[in-house]
Amino acid sequence: MTAAVSSAGRLSREAAMAGDKDAWLALFADDAIVEDPIGPSHFDPEGRGHRGKAAIARFFDMAIAPSQLEFHFDKTYVCGDEEANVGHIVIVASGYRVVAEGVFTYRVNADGKIVALRAYWELDKAAASAQPV
């Protein structure tokens, strides 16, 4: 299963960087959840995550589509059907460059589909890193 989770995580990042919504959504199981970041945010005021393909598609439209993304992971830990990546994501949107440092995880099911994408990063720290571009 370790190869499946590594492949799904890599393909997710590639599709997000390319802005390819269809390719990104195809990686997820129908009942998957995206929590990015975990907890309340401007994308998810109640902090419950985005569950199911329709909600995940709306998250893409709000968070990924208007952004340019770069993933910089210093360490990756693969255990069974899960992968944890430690590092940062550079987000360029609305004329600003923001760095979100944290831990970014993927869990896949037996079919290799992502069932959980969870991002542990602190919104306040990322906002404080904002620099005009």
CATH code assigned at 39? 3.10.450.50
Which residue segment(s) compose the domain that 74 sits in? 2-132
Give residue 6's pLDDT: 84
Give residue 96's pLDDT: 97
62-80 as b/e: b if 16+ CB within 10 A: ebbeebebebebeeeebee
The C-alpha atoms of residue 112 and residue 121 are separated, in whole angstroms, by: 25
The C-alpha atoms of residue 6 and residue 78 are separated, in whole angstroms, by: 7
Structure tokens at 32: 């998957």
Q: Which among 29, 52, 30 has a CA at the least distance from the CA of 109?
A: 29
Question: Cβ contacts of residue 113 below 8 Å, gap of 6+?
Answer: 8, 27, 28, 29, 32
Give residue 122's pLDDT: 95
Tell me how many domains the chain contains: 1
C-alpha separations of 69 from 19, 29, 115, 133 in Å:
9, 23, 22, 14
Helices (H), the chain: 2-18, 21-26, 53-59, 123-128
Q: Answer yes or no: are the C-beta atoms of 100 and 92 closer than 8 Å.
A: no
Give residue 5's pLDDT: 82
Q: Which residues of the chain have pLDDT under 70?
A: 1
